[in-house]
Amino acid sequence: MQIFEKITAHLENRPTELKRLKEKGRKVIGYFPGDYVPEEIIYASGAIPVCLCHGGNPRPVGAALSVTTRFICPFARALIGDRLIGEQPFYNLVDMLVTPVTCQHLRRAADIWQHHSGLPVFRLGVPMENNEQGLKYYRDRLNDLNNKLQVFTGQAVTDESLWKAIELYNTLRSLLKRISLLRKNSAPAISTIDFIKLNHASFYADPVFMVDILSSLIKELEQSVNKDEKGDNLRLLITGPNIAFGDYKVLEIANELGAQVVAEEFFEGVRYYWGNVEQAGSPVEALANRYLANKVPNGVMPAAASGRYDFIAGLVKDFKVDGIIWYQLLFCETYDIESYYFAHKMKQLGIPVLKIQSDYDVLDRGSIKTRMEAFVEMLNKERSSD
Amino acid sequence: MIDKYLELCGYKPEEIKSQLPRVEKAFTILGLTDFDVERGQERISGFFDTNLKGVRRILGVLVRELVDLTLAKEEGGRWIYSSPPSACADILTAASLGNKDIHVAFPDLLFVLTMGMMFDKLDPIMEAAEGLYLEPGMAHCSLIQTRLGLYARNLIPRAVLQVSVGLICDENPKADASFEEFFGIPVQYLLRSQDKDWEESGRIQRHIEFLAKNLKRMVERVGEAAGGEITDDMLNQARKMARDFSKPMRQILEMGVNCDPPPISSAFVHLMRAINGMPLNRHNHEIAVEGANILCQELQERVNKGEGVVPKGSPRVLHGYVQSYVDPGIVVALEKMGISAPIEEVQLYEPDGRFSPDISGIEDPNYRLAAVLTQASIFNSLPVKSRVTIEACRRYKLDGCLWLVHYSCRPIMSDSYMMKDIVQKELGIPFMVLETDVYDPRYNRNRQLRPQLEAFAEMVKSYKASLR
Ligand code: SF4
Ligand code: SF4
């Protein structure tokens, strides 16, 4: 598909393009994932938002051990290590970092970035309870971020520029959602690994380019969908705390085993496309509502489990899922706790859950494959006995 | 055997007589055998100076609390629990003052200090937690495992409310949420946002505001669970009770800091601080206050005689972030090597390592507590924490930093190497980071840590010698 080639070429050229824009005075604002840092605010300030979400590679994970201990999750260690070893071009271009304060691992990764590189860092507090007081706090912090960015870029942010940015990102999310929903079909027009790669690309690419390319892609995909075609592969959903750019091991193994992953739900790494910013009221308020209140809570939040379970149970039904893979990053303690409740509840629905742990270690591929093979076999047996 | 143990723990003869049956019953439930009790005797005599009457009396408070909680399932009552950090201890105490049927505890810390530290018999509780869902290999916090293990082994009654304090880590509230899901224990959270930017210091209004409002909600919710409103009078009484213990404790702490040599091991001061942070049942609280006052006098006599735990003029270090709850032997070993550690980082406040925060001009008690909490070193950003440490080392003329990190506590352990980097660059003093588990005796690496401790002691001694 030519479109994927275009995206690859765009991403390859993007660091050079960013360098050029920086020379002209534009700022690159890196931010950590988790869908709490509204790119709209960064974009409206004239800066270029880049979500730093690379992972899956053991090299930076190991490098991070020179400055912190091993009980930090591999994704946070990758963020640290990639900045330390300087081999990740996007990371080297960052002028300022915005980190959502969601978990201790990300919080510390930001500290290490600041300590070792001297970059300015803005810490965006994310209240861990979704209530009125929390929403007000978050909204105030978005205003602080907005002010900080205006000073940093020297460009005023107006309501008009914010609404424009909101419109752009709403379009981007809507396109991703339409593509995602195509996987409901019994013979999905796009694989989940490709969908996640598109989603990941949207964090680094120029959003205008991305909107264009997704618009073309959706036309192609919608034409290619054959609603009568019957796919008989197993249908899996993958969920967990984080799936990073480059961390495709489990998805590849699922493909190798002939199981189709048809849906995903992740806190970090995947752009949240299920809801848009309502274009009413003040833009910052609208952003606060979208990014904190009106969405599935993240699993670090203490009282998130039932909301998250309900959402995923809905996906299971809509996407006709046979089984779930819980992709757990090692030492991500909150999601690990939630995984037990989740598996327990899914069992009541009759949906088996396989938990796969990863430390981005290349050597664990064999054991992960063996466990997934057994899981797929079990699901196939269950299907044939139905 | 048990009566001897109780004697060592400061029980008076008439108390032993009246309470022995309850203690025996509780020890049976807990699976404590004569062998365990004998080992317990050896352990506490090794860790603490049990020649001091005040020490013994205070140790007895832990035994009494353990017995009360263990027999609670038979003896009835409704329980409200919380866990460190002890931001809500006064609220819990206040709830127990208003209703005789309400009892309060930090069950996890209590079991760590008794079944863990005293008897070295926490393993079955930890294993029960691991068998349920806090599996090994994920580096779950052992304090939280203890809490789950207690429920898993059905050792304590289910709480009518769990007060969940998420001021430092994410795991504590998340685990409490899971207890609500699995065991139906209602939770009220005290959360905050740790988004202090590095340029920010001092009293950050948005944090104080957020926390104070949360504290107010907490008072209301605990009152509901206790079946009656918690009034300001009740809260004031609870605070006064806390002060009754903390006042002599503070004097003891200051003796440790200001007297050369310090008259008592800081391992015991640490234990007193742990007890000070927990809500105690009323009768036990009175005994704790009595013990603290006796100890204060005993130590004053030692100071007058110039007696102490290390030779006069010995080097002194800052203990960060906190001592081991389950193995005071680490600090005792350091003292035997001729180095005292009279101050712990967790007891310091910004901006300069003082023992009290700035709460001037704040009248509302919730706002005052919020201001205290937000200025504590442990709740702060890296620059503030490192500034506090540096200034404390200068202010108290310390010769090094021993950073004992609880390996599974992400917020604490993950910045230790940066702390070391910053402090050493500025002061050039020895700074050693040691990873351990401060709650789980299975990872009690006192013996393994010994070579590192010895190396640290040598570094500190030669640093001190180089100053002369
Ligand atoms: S994977 Fe878990 S621990 Fe790691 S950054 Fe994400 S939420 Fe935090
Ligand atoms: S992880 Fe740290 S802060 Fe949290 S309960 Fe454990 S020791 Fe306390």
Residue-wise DSSP of B189-211: EEE------TT--S--HHHHHHH
Nearest to A253 by CA among A354, A384, A383: A354
Residue B223 touches chain A, beta carbons under 8 Å: no
CB of A210 closer than 8 Å to CB of A172: yes
Pocket lining for ligand 1, CB < 6 angstroms: A 73, 75-76, 103, 105-106, 241-242, 267-268, 300, 329, 332, 335
Q: Measure the CA angle with vertex B124, ends B119 and B128; round to 5°.
A: 145
Using alpha carbons only, how large is chain B's radius of gyration in Å?
21
- Rounded distance between C-alpha atoms, residue A300 and residue A318, angstroms: 26
**Do residues A33 and A148 both lie within one domain?**
yes
Partner-chain residue, chosen from A68, A124, A340, that has the shortest CB–CB distance to B133: A340
β-bridge mates for residue B257, sequence order: none
Count of CB atoms situated within 10 Å of the CB of B103: 24
How near does any CA of chain A get to the CA of B115, in Å?
25
C-alpha A124: how far from chain center: 17
Partner-chain residue, chosen from A111, A129, A340, that has the shortest CB–CB distance to B418: A111
| Phi, psi angles (nearest 5°) of residue A281 | 75, -155
| Phi, psi angles (nearest 5°) of residue A271 | -65, 130
Q: What is the mean pLDDT of residues B28-56?
A: 97
CB of A71 closer than 8 Å to CB of A51: no
Q: Residue type at A83?
A: R
- Rounded distance between C-alpha atoms, residue B454 and residue B402, angstroms: 12
| Count of positions (residues) in chain B | 468
Q: What is the mean pLDDT of residues A323-352?
A: 96
Task: Supply the DSSP string of A315-375, one letter for each residue.
Answer: HHHHTT-SEEEEEEETT-HHHHHHHHHHHHHHHHHT--EEEEEE-S-GGGHHHHHHHHHHH
Q: Measure the CA angle with vertex A155, ends A149 and A158; round to 5°.
A: 90
When pLDDT is cut at 50, 70 and 90, the band that residue A1 belongs to is low
β-bridge mates for residue A124, sequence order: A100
**Do residues A158 and A246 both lie within one domain?**
no
Q: Measure the CA angle with vertex B406, ends B402 and B409; round to 5°.
A: 130
- Rounded distance between C-alpha atoms, residue A125 and residue B332, angstroms: 41
Residue B404 touches chain A, beta carbons under 8 Å: no
- Rounded distance between C-alpha atoms, residue B437 and residue B444, angstroms: 7
The pLDDT score that the predictor gives to residue B383 is: 93
Read off the tokens for A100.
């959502």
Residue carrying structure tokens 């869908």: A35
Give the DSSP letter of residue B115: I
- Rounded distance between C-alpha atoms, residue B2 and residue B20, angstroms: 8
- Rounded distance between C-alpha atoms, residue B49 and residue A16, angstroms: 68
- For the stretch A164-210, pLDDT in tens is 999 999 999 999 999 999 999 988 999 999 999 999 999 999 999 99
β-bridge mates for residue A54, sequence order: A245
Q: Residue type at A311?
A: F
| Phi, psi angles (nearest 5°) of residue B199 | -80, -10
Q: Residue type at B280?
A: L
Handedness of CA B6, B12, B17, B20 (dihedral sign): negative
- For the stretch A249-259, pLDDT in tens is 999 999 999 99
Q: Does the pLDDT at position B40 exceed 80? A: yes
Residue B455 touches chain A, beta carbons under 8 Å: no
| Phi, psi angles (nearest 5°) of residue B309 | -85, -15
The pLDDT score that the predictor gives to residue A384 is: 82
- Rounded distance between C-alpha atoms, residue A88 and residue A290, angstroms: 31
Q: Is the pTM higher than 0.90? A: yes
Partner-chain residue, chosen from B166, B182, B381, that has the shortest CB–CB distance to A302: B166
The Cα-based distances of A353 to A259, A371, B284, B297, B358 in angstroms read: 14, 12, 48, 62, 51
Of A162, A178, A196, the last residue of a domain is A162
Whichever domain contains A371, its CATH number is 3.40.50.11900
Task: Tell me, using a 6 A CB cutoff, whether residue B155 lines ligand 2.
Answer: no
- For the stretch A45-92, pLDDT in tens is 999 999 999 999 999 999 999 999 899 999 999 999 999 999 999 999
Tell me the pLDDT of chain B averaged across its residues.
95
Three-state secondary structure call for residue B343: strand
Q: Does the pLDDT at position A135 exceed 90? A: yes
Q: In chain B, positions 422-451, which contact chain A (CB-CB < 8 Å)? A: 422, 435
For residue A103, the ligand 1 atom closest to its alpha carbon is 8
- For the stretch A205-251, pLDDT in tens is 999 999 999 999 999 998 887 766 677 789 999 999 999 999 999 99
Which class for A369: exposed (0-12), middle (13-18), buried (19 or more C-beta within 10 A)?
middle
The pLDDT score that the predictor gives to residue B8 is: 97
When pLDDT is cut at 50, 70 and 90, the band that residue B321 belongs to is confident
Cβ contacts of A231 within 8 Å, gap of 6 or more = A185, A186, A187, A188, A260
**Do residues A235 and A355 both lie within one domain?**
yes
Tell me, yes or no, whether A360 lies in a domain: yes
Q: Does the pLDDT at position B50 exceed 80? A: yes
Alpha carbon of B409 to ligand 1 centroid (Å): 14
- Rounded distance between C-alpha atoms, residue B118 and residue B46, angstroms: 10
Read off the tokens for A56.
């899956």
**Do residues A148 and A259 both lie within one domain?**
no
Q: What is the mean pLDDT of residues B100-107?
A: 95
- For the stretch B250-270, pLDDT in tens is 999 999 999 999 999 999 999
Tell me, yes or no, whether A16 lies in a domain: no
The pairing of beta strand A234-242 with beta strand A259-268:
parallel
Q: Residue type at A324?
A: I
Chain B residues lying within 8 Å of A306, measured CB to CB:
181
- For the stretch B393-409, pLDDT in tens is 999 999 999 999 999 99
Helices H, strands E: what count in chain A? 15, 8
The pairing of beta strand B401-406 with beta strand B431-436:
parallel
Please report, for chain B, the start and end positions of each structural domain, with discontinuous segments joined by +.
1-74, 77-191, 235-347+400-466
Provide the domain limits for residue A115: 27-162
The pLDDT score that the predictor gives to residue B9 is: 98
- Rounded distance between C-alpha atoms, residue B404 and residue B321, angstroms: 6
Q: Measure the CA angle with vertex A172, ends A166 and A177; round to 5°.
A: 120
Atom 4 in ligand 2: which residue has the minimum CA distance?
Answer: B169
Nearest to A268 by CA among A112, A129, A109: A109
Count of CB atoms situated within 10 Å of the CB of B160: 19
Handedness of CA A82, A86, A90, A96 (dihedral sign): positive
The pLDDT score that the predictor gives to residue B1 is: 85
Q: Does the pLDDT at position A385 exceed 90? A: no
Task: Tell me, using a 6 A CB cutoff, whether residue B167 lines ligand 2.
Answer: no
Counting the structural domains of chain A, the total is 2
CB of B454 closer than 8 Å to CB of B461: no
Q: Does the pLDDT at position B446 exceed 90? A: no
Partner-chain residue, chosen from B189, B195, B422, that has the shortest CB–CB distance to A101: B195
Residue carrying structure tokens 């197993």: A234
Atom 1 in ligand 2: which residue has the minimum CA distance?
Answer: B409
Of A132, A162, A192, the last residue of a domain is A162
When pLDDT is cut at 50, 70 and 90, the band that residue A276 belongs to is very high
Strands laid side by side in the B340-344 sheet: B340-344, B316-321, B401-406, B431-436
CB of B221 closer than 8 Å to CB of B161: yes
| Phi, psi angles (nearest 5°) of residue A98 | -115, 125
Percentage of residues in chain B having pLDDT higher than 90: 93
CB of B438 closer than 8 Å to CB of B406: yes
Q: What is the mean pLDDT of residues B438-462?
A: 88
Q: What is the mean pLDDT of residues B320-335?
A: 93
Q: Which CATH class is domain B77-191?
A: alpha beta
Instruction: Judge: B195–A302 Cβ closer than 8 Å, yes or no.
Output: no
The pLDDT score that the predictor gives to residue A228 is: 67
Task: Supply the DSSP string of A69-115, one letter for each residue.
Answer: -TTS-HHHHHHHHHHHH---HHHHT-SEEEEEE-SHHHHHHHHHHHH
Read off the tokens for B179.
């207890």
The Cα-based distances of A224 to A185, A217, A373 in angstroms read: 12, 11, 30
- Closest residue, chain A, to B130 (C-alpha): A337
Chain B residues lying within 8 Å of A69, measured CB to CB:
405, 407, 413-414, 416-417, 435
Task: Tell me, using a 6 A CB cutoff, whether residue B172 lines ligand 2.
Answer: yes
Q: In chain B, positions 122-181, which contact chain A (CB-CB < 8 Å)? A: 133-135, 138-141, 164, 166, 169-171, 173-178, 180-181
Q: What is the ipTM of this complex?
A: 0.96
CA atoms within 13 A on the CB side of B321: 28
Instruction: Judge: B138–A336 Cβ closer than 8 Å, yes or no.
Output: yes
Handedness of CA B340, B342, B345, B346 (dihedral sign): positive
**Do residues A353 and A240 both lie within one domain?**
yes
Which class for B200: exposed (0-12), middle (13-18), buried (19 or more C-beta within 10 A)?
middle
Atom 7 in ligand 2: which residue has the minimum CA distance?
Answer: B409
Instruction: Judge: A337–B178 Cβ closer than 8 Å, yes or no.
Output: yes
Q: Residue type at B80?
A: I
**Do residues A265 and A380 both lie within one domain?**
yes
CB of B112 closer than 8 Å to CB of B151: no
- For the stretch B200-253, pLDDT in tens is 999 999 999 999 999 999 999 999 999 999 999 999 999 999 999 999 999 999
Three-state secondary structure call for residue B141: coil
Q: What is the mean pLDDT of residues B147-152?
A: 97
How near does any CA of chain B get to the CA of A244, in Å?
20
CB pairs A-B closer than 8 Å: 134
Alpha carbon of B418 to ligand 1 centroid (Å): 21
Residue A105 touches chain B, beta carbons under 8 Å: yes
